[in-house]
Amino acid sequence: MADFLPTLTTAAKNLATEMTNYNVEEKDLQGESAITVEHVDNNSSVREMLGQRGIKPENLPPSEDIRKLERRVQKEDKQLAKKSGKLHE
């Protein structure tokens, strides 16, 4: 599923995670419950901020499948290599 998340959604999730990581150290949070509450709060805050900017993650179009994109780039690289080889002949 993560292979299809829009870049903005991935960045938002990373921000919430980094906020959690920071606050776990800063507030010396210990135990699964305390850290989970912190993480949920951070995700809610990031989602609220997105909403204030008129962005609803569930309405964002999915990104192209990463694996599919990788295959396409490899194919294009091979085609470019063939073309560049013909230019040098």
For residue 59, give every residue at least 6 positions away whose Cβ sits within 8 Å of its Cβ, in sequence order, or none. Answer: none
- Confidence category of residue 28, pLDDT binned at 50, 70, 90: very high
> What does each C-alpha distance from 24 to 12, 49, 78 come to in angstroms?
18, 21, 47
Identify whether the C-beta of residue 3 lies closer than 8 Å to the C-beta of residue 66. Answer: yes
Q: What does the angle CA 35 – CA 46 – CA 61 come to, to the nearest 5 degrees?
A: 120
Cα(73)–Cα(50) distance, integer angstroms? 32
Model pLDDT, residue 6: 79
Parent domain of 59: 2-87
Question: How many domains would you assign to the chain?
Answer: 1
For residue 37, give both structure tokens.
Answer: 């509450």
The pTM (predicted TM-score) of the whole model is: 0.65
pLDDT tens figures, 46-87: 999 999 999 998 888 877 676 777 788 888 888 887 777 665
